[in-house]
Amino acid sequence: MKIEAQLRPPVLVLALSGRLDAFTSRALEERLAVALQDPAVRHLILDLAELDYLSSAGIRVLVTTLRQMRNGGGDLFLVGTQGYSQKVLEMSGFAKTLPHYPTLALALSATGNADAAEIHWDQSLPFAGKAGSYQVAPWSRDRCQVLVLGDIKDVLHCRITPELMRSKHFSSTEYSIGLGALGDKLEDYLPILGEMITIGGTMVWLPTDGHDTADYLIPQKDTGEVTIRTGFNVSLSGHFNDLALFQSPLPEGSAIGDIYRDLFALAPSRRAPFKGGLCLAMRAEVHAAYGAGVLRSPILPNQPTNHKSLTDPENFDTWFEIDHAPRHHQVTGLFSGIGLDLHSDYAKHYDQAMLDAAFYVNPGNRAAANPDQILHNHGVFFSPRPFHPQPRSLEEEIQAVVENGDFRDMRHVFDNTRITRALIGIAYIDQFARDPAGVAVS
pLDDT classification of 104: cutoffs 50, 70, 90: confident
User: Hey, where are the domains in the chain?
Assistant: 2-117, 122-144+235-440
How far apart (Å, rounded) are the C-alpha atoms in residues 299 and 229? 14
More confident residue, 200 or 221: 200
More confident residue, 346 or 120: 346
Asked if omega into 10 is within 30° of 0 (cis), the reply is: yes
At 279 the pLDDT is: 98
Residue 433 has pLDDT above 60, yes or no: yes
Q: Which of 151, 158, 155, 154 is nearest to 301 (CA)?
A: 158
Burial annotation 51-88 (CB, 10 A radius, 16+ → b, else e): beebbebbbebbeebbeebeeeebbbbbbbbbeebbeb
At 180 the pLDDT is: 96
State residue 47 phi and psi, 5-degree precision: -90, 110
At 333-342, the pLDDT tens digits run 999 999 999 9
pTM for this prediction: 0.79
Give the chain's mean pLDDT: 91
Residue 198, beta-bridge partner list: 176, 203
How far apart (Å, rounded) are the C-alpha atoms in residues 165 and 384? 35
More confident residue, 355 or 239: 355
At 49 the pLDDT is: 85
Q: Any idea what the Cα angle at residue 283 is, between residues 280 and 288, rounded to 5°?
A: 100
Mean pLDDT for 394-422 is: 92
Residue 374, beta-bridge partner list: 340
Asked which of 96-110, 185-199, 367-381 is least confident by mean pLDDT, the reply is 96-110
Residue 102 has pLDDT above 80, yes or no: no
At 20-71, the pLDDT tens digits run 999 999 999 999 998 888 888 889 999 998 899 999 999 999 999 999 998 8
pLDDT classification of 95: cutoffs 50, 70, 90: confident
Q: How far is CA 45 from the centre of its chain?
A: 22
How far apart (Å, rounded) are the C-alpha atoms in residues 183 and 165? 13
Domain 2-117 CATH class label: alpha beta
At 118 the pLDDT is: 61
At 389 the pLDDT is: 74
Residue 227 has pLDDT above 70, yes or no: yes
pLDDT classification of 277: cutoffs 50, 70, 90: very high
pLDDT classification of 356: cutoffs 50, 70, 90: very high
C-beta of residue 19 within 8 angstroms of C-beta of residue 49: no
How far apart (Å, rounded) are the C-alpha atoms in residues 137 and 245? 9
How far apart (Å, rounded) are the C-alpha atoms in residues 351 and 220? 36
At 314 the pLDDT is: 97
Burial classification of residue 44, based on how many CB atoms lie within 10 Å of its CB (0-12 exposed, 13-18 middle, 19 or more buried) = buried
How far apart (Å, rounded) are the C-alpha atoms in residues 427 and 138? 11
For the sheet containing 2-8, what is the strand order?
A: 2-8, 11-20, 43-54, 75-79, 100-101
At 186-216, the pLDDT tens digits run 999 999 999 999 998 899 999 999 999 999 9
Taking the CB of residue 361, how many other CB atoms lie within 10 A of it?
12
Mean pLDDT for 106-121 is: 66
